Amino acid sequence: MKITIIYDNEVKKKGLRAGWGFSALIESEGAQPILFDTGADSPTLLHNMKELGIDPKNIGIIVISHAHGDHTGGLFEILSQNETAELYIPSSFGGAFPARKVTIVGKDSVQICQNVFSTGELEGVEQSLALETDKGIFVVTGCAHPAMKGILDATSRFGKLYGIAGGLHGFHDFRAFESLQLIYPCHCTQYKKEIMELFKGRASACGAGLVIGL
C-alpha cells in the first residue's frame, strides 16, 4: 500500500505547489486508487497531480473527510474530468451528485474497499480512514476536528494502530501517540514542531510529494 501526498501546506518535491489544504492518493494492490480530499483549489491540485503522474481519470474512489473548503476545493473539477469515480461523503456535506454512485457516510463505520475503512462521521463533522497493513492499522485524517481519542478509538476497532498521517489540528495530548511507529503531522497541525521533537525517529515532516510506503 502506498500514500502519496498531493496537496499540503508544505512541499517535499521540487516543482510542486503548496496551499492551505490537504489531499492524498491511496493505492493498494487489487483495489482502485482512492483520492482522499481534494485540497483548497483545483489549479494547485491538478498541477501537483500532473507533476506526480496521477491521472484524474484513473481515480476509482473519492473520499471527502469533511465539508470545509480546504478539503473540497478541487472536488468539482475532478468530478468533471472523471465521470465514474464513486463518492464517499459525510452526511454533513450536503449537495447533490446526479448520475454518480454516492455513499453518504453517517455515524457508522463503512468498508470502502479491501483493506480500507471509514470511521464513520465522528461527532457529526468528519470521517477518517483506517488502512489495514501487514504492520497494523494506519490512520489518515483530514483535519482531525473530532477529538483524537475518538478517532484513535474508532480506528483501533480494526486492529492495532501502527501510524497516522494528515491534519491533526490542535491535538496536543501527545501520550495518545506513544504506541505509534509512524507519525506524519500535515496541513493544519498546530504542534508540528513539538510532535517532531517528541517522537524523533518516528515522526517525519509532511508535504506535497511525500510518498509513504506501508
The percentage of residues in the chain with a pLDDT greater than 90, rounded to a whole number, is 96
190-199 mean pLDDT: 98
Does the pLDDT value for residue 138 go beyond 90? yes
The residue behind cell 489495514 is 132
pLDDT tens digits, residue range 149-173? 999 999 999 999 999 999 999 999 9
What local confidence, expressed as pLDDT, does residue 99 receive?
A: 83
Q: What average pLDDT does the structure give for the chain?
A: 97
Gyration radius of the chain over CA positions: 16
**d(Cα 12, Cα 98) in Å, to the nearest integer?**
37
What local confidence, expressed as pLDDT, does residue 209 receive?
A: 98
Measuring CA to CA, which residue among 143, 196, 197 is closest to residue 171? 143
Does the pLDDT value for residue 98 go beyond 90? no
pTM of the model: 0.98
**Which structural domains are found in the chain, ordered by start?**
2-213 (3.60.15.10)
What local confidence, expressed as pLDDT, does residue 95 receive?
A: 80
